[in-house]
Amino acid sequence: MMKKLVISMLLATAGIAASAEAIAAPASAVATQAAAATVHYRSATIDGVKMFYREAGPADGPVVLLLHGFPTSSHMFRNLIPLLADRYHVIAPDYPGFGQSDAPDHRQFTYSFAHYADMVDTLMGKIGARRYAMYVMDYGAPVGYRLALKNPERVSGLIVQNGNAYEEGLGAFWDPIRTYWQSGSAKDREAQAWLVGLDATKFQYTDGVRDLSRISPDNWVQDQALLDRPGNKDIQLDLFYDYRTNVPLYPAFQAFFRERKPPTLIVWGKNDKIFPEPGAHPYTRDLPDAEMHILDTGHFALEDKLDEMAPLIRDFLDRKVAAR
């Protein structure tokens, strides 16, 4: 009962920003949020590149690795981290080219999912995290699953949120990108450039959301400012092209699920056009004990469904990860 009360109190304050909203909030609410976690903003140099990450929670707690999607960063986890960090050691990196990490010229740095997985692996080694549960979303899924193939014994659990590992999850949205995969042509590359524009960024946050008043415009304003940095468009187009290398690995990802049977929680926004609901259900073929919750929202489910998702995630981690 006390645990549920604490989570409810934290959820009530998780969306409070450290600005005017926080000032206007009751002092007790702000104090509750502050007591929940101190988030540290750190960086590590890996392959000559500064890799930024958020870290919170007890150093000896069970580790939870949060892997973000496109076009955002660890910023997408800003409200979830305080709700986990009283018990869990939470780590949320930004991939190079995203968030606060360096974004070297794409002609001088390999922007690929294999490279990202290697860099996250190195980061976790530097931090000393030898075993971890992973929250994988969008790009975070191939990064995390590649990491799992490298070190299957280190994965203590999975939280899957609109992160694909099955052909069924690549719907019509991906058809133009598949054309680019097949041709690799400059014309087909440029045809994907709209995906780094403001309309596409805002679409990812708002499409499929029932109550838009719950979505802060700060999300797409911040993401777009970073996407608009000189050279970032080519970084993102390189990654769209490299995503093709994830698809042949789907059978290996699925074999990992079947053979290692990691405890798995699936929380999926059913209205997401990028990674639609048909990508969620095949997980149960390989993970029949997975816990699945289909939510009435879109791509960035944490933005409007945190109050539903956080108790599910916390309960899952407490039962399936911390208890082991």
List domains and CATH numbers for the chain: 1-36 (no CATH), 37-322 (3.40.50.1820)
Q: pLDDT, tens digit, for every residue of 294-309? A: 999 999 999 999 999 9
Q: 51 φ, ψ to 5°?
A: -110, 115
Mean of pLDDT over the chain: 92
- What predicted TM-score, i.e. pTM, was given to this entire model? 0.90
Contact residues for 46 (Cβ-Cβ < 8 A; gap 6+) = 119, 122, 123, 126
Question: Active site residue: 68, 106, 115, 299, which one?
Answer: 299
pLDDT digits (tens, 9 = 90+) for 9-46: 445 444 434 434 433 433 343 334 435 589 999 999 99
* 70 φψ region: left (φ > 0), alpha (ψ -120 to 50), beta (else): beta
Q: Mark whether 299 is an active-site residue.
A: yes
Looking only at the bridges linking them, the beta strands covering 132-137 and 155-161 are parallel
End-to-end CA separation in angstroms for the chain: 22
Integer angstrom CA distances of residue 83 from 8, 10, 126, 140: 10, 6, 25, 20
Read off the pLDDT of residues 114-170 as tens digits, 9 standing for 90 and up: 999 999 999 999 999 999 999 999 999 999 999 999 999 999 999 999 999 999 999
